[in-house]
Amino acid sequence: MLRVLAVDDEKPALEELLYLLRSDPRVRSAEGATDATEALRRIGRALEAGPDGEDAIDVVFLDIHMAGLTGLDVARLLAGFARPPLVVFVTAHEGFAVQAFDLKAVDYVLKPVRRERLAEAVRRVSDLSGPAPAAPAVAGQIPVELGGVTRFVPVDDIAYVEAQGDYARLHTDEGSHLVRIPLSTLEERWAARGFVRIHRSHLVALGRIDELRLDGGATTVRVGSAELSVSRRHARQLRELLMRHVRG
């Protein structure tokens, strides 16, 4: 059960966000702050109280554009603490996503906030707040935690992997699973299984790539229904690997 602080200097938007958060069964409590100064004061009390204290906060839902300090400023300050709360940005502006994820944000939700999209953000936070396995224990499989039950997912079932800070989200045809393993570790561990790095945020199973597209200098791949960007530094190597894979 999550303890949430929502921060937005527009009162109607804050009230709507709090209403949606309090409607989610995974949220124990949701309090609001109307500016960054108030938010930092509450977070400071929470950090002093510790994770079991009455004022504890598990996650902060942050607007970006606010008077005074912005949401990005708040996230940068939180990054200096040893055990800060998780951060989800809630904003009307698409252009700050890269900065947000560089600050290890769990998610980036665009306004107007849809109930289903917010529920997905809460699910991601909930996954990160709960226990997660530290490493694969069975050859060819990786353990994932599902509601207190450990399930072993075959590596061959994984189409691609998405970096989320020090965690990784494994995408299969049936859904996705979060594990407490950095993407760089999986890249090294699964190279022999045909996984290739295409971007700082994505690792892809070579045999699951359905389409490679070049458009105006930008390279993307389609993996099932997902379209993923390929960074320039990885594009040439990926094309060569795909050609070898096809010939093989």
Confidence of residue 137 (pLDDT cuts 50, 70, 90): very low
- pLDDT per residue as tens digits for the range 15-67: 999 999 999 999 999 999 999 999 999 998 888 877 777 888 999 999 999 98
- pLDDT per residue as tens digits for the range 174-213: 888 888 888 888 998 898 888 999 999 999 999 999 999 9
* 244-247 own/partner pairs: CB under 8 Å, 24+ apart: 245/194, 245/206, 245/207
The pTM score is: 0.56
Paired tokens of 77:
């300050």
Question: What is the Cα–Cα distance from 220 to 208, expressed in whole angstroms?
Answer: 14
Are 112 and 93 contacting, i.e. CB atoms less than 8 angstroms apart?
Answer: no
